[in-house]
Structure 1
Amino acid sequence: GKSGPIANGWRAVLVFHKGDEKYLQKVYGMVNSATSKNVCFVCQATTDGGSPNLYTHHGPSAPHRQTMFSTADFIRFGCRDNPFIRYPGFHVTMICGDWLHVMDLAVVPDACGSALLELSENSVVWPGSTQDERLQHAYTCFVAECKASNVRAQPIYVPSMHAVPAHGDAFPSIAQKHLNGAEAFILAKWLMGVTLRVAHANPGDRHAALRAAVFCNLVHMREAISIEKHGNRFVTLSEPNLRKLQQANFLFHAALNSLASEAIAARQLLWKLRPKLHKLQSCNRKSQPLKRMALIKYV
């Protein structure tokens, strides 16, 4: 490619600033974080259950969508002084969470942990006299799926239902050290097939249908953002994939919220809702063709 200044000493164009939450928190000096009352960098989404801006609300009509920071508001109230906001042309919509950390290493492991525990409660899906044996059989099936896709599977441990404490924040999940991005996608696709078969075998089971909807739409979102699909290039999405992403995101949140409500009513630590889900919505809003650029000059 070409080297040297592109125009009057400018050497680079910033169009997208993507990173995991800790990185963005550090480089921008963000005021809000996942552990603060307001959980979003760029809007007023909150953990306050009495607020209309509760972060679990989703979709275009979610109240917190009306509280998005302008660039001026973000610079004044959302972050501390940093070099990035000084680039000519900087805009707050350039900041975006990384799909790998938001979806593959957080949202997918949480959903998979709950699904694996539910599906292994009895021997309908996987054989075994105990839940641990059934989970081991499930892992064997997952490894076979990974091999078929030329992905190396790491050992995964999901505690059986009786091992989950009755109190405290002990929702099932799969740790990042046991699951990389490629494995997470295979796991979601595999569980999509499993949950669809269970839902098909139980046509009147609303819970089974919701569980299948979670994994169908996780997979649809992941497919939509693939660079190889339907003309996606670099950090932009084709219009068909943008629509697919937004639709799948809405349906995923609707299904997950319903499952979480059922779990709360049954006093079960399953189908966790956490601020990372709001980050997924932010990624969804910003994964579209970019119209803004900022210039970077080296002197």
Structure 2
Amino acid sequence: MIQRCEVLVIGGGQAGLATAFYLLRAGVSTIVVDNQEAPGGAWRHAWPSLTLFSPANASNLPGMMMPSYPGFPPAEHVVNYFSRYEQRYDIPVQRPVEIVTVTKLNDGFVAEDSEGKQWQSRSVVAATGTWSAPFVPYYPGEFSGQQWHSAHYPGPEPFVGDRIAVVGGANSGAQIAAELTKVGDVTWYTQGEPRFMPDDVDGRVLFRRNRERLRAMQSGEEDPGPESALGDIVVVDSVKEARDSGELQSHPMFSSLDEVDADHLIWCTGFRPAVGPFRSLMHGLTPEVDGLFPVGYGEALGPGSATITGVAPFAKEAARKAAERVGKTIR
């Protein structure tokens, strides 16, 4: 069976939902396919203590406020919000669907999933994110303990009383290392000294900075600089407590796995864009064919484009271009 629509959105996380919102509002025939079992995108797989950096009223997809929450919302709150968002706007999400290939077909595309089902569309929105493509750098040597990646970090329970090596000097590395100092012996490896942002900086500050950057870029003004100019680590309460108590101390990066004396090694080394189905149609994140629109993969696509609130202008622009291909308008 072949399903047909004007725009196929691949990915049902924040980027896919935001883009579908604009498309559907303009009357564009849209199908969203998602490889998860239920709503929530990558937030379904967050470790138990992970929270947003911003309060709920500053963490919104277009059209619908996130329900209130005291403090910074946890992943479960985000997942519930995404589910309600799908319901409110009647977003036609089909799941679980694992798209394996996307091919150019005349003036449109055909996408095929792992079971051989196909979708044909005039345009495709690539919104597959990064969570399914965790990155682990190569180091020589051997490590005899258990290795993890932050994508699959389950919380502190499996590490009680153990020696844990945590690699990575950004948010996930600092948060996971800080949490584990409460249950085990942690060695936190970073490239250089950790760069903590000022203690009063949270997601609201970063959002305003990203909007200022976007406005400057659109008007041809000088780029005021990325949020990394402020540092690499948002000082959430758990990180502040561990840092100020002296429990969170960084160590120079090892040069070989043979140097790591621990029971566990946790790589907090980020992700790469999960663009496997589109790889033949893109150079990096730049499409090489008309009608393919990547949304939400991070700084390479624009400031704040991989955040819940920040993705909206990029989703709207992709939706606008896709709608134009079928003679419809998004303002």
- TM-score when scaled to structure 1? 0.30
Which has a greater percent of strand?
2
- TM-score when scaled to structure 2? 0.28
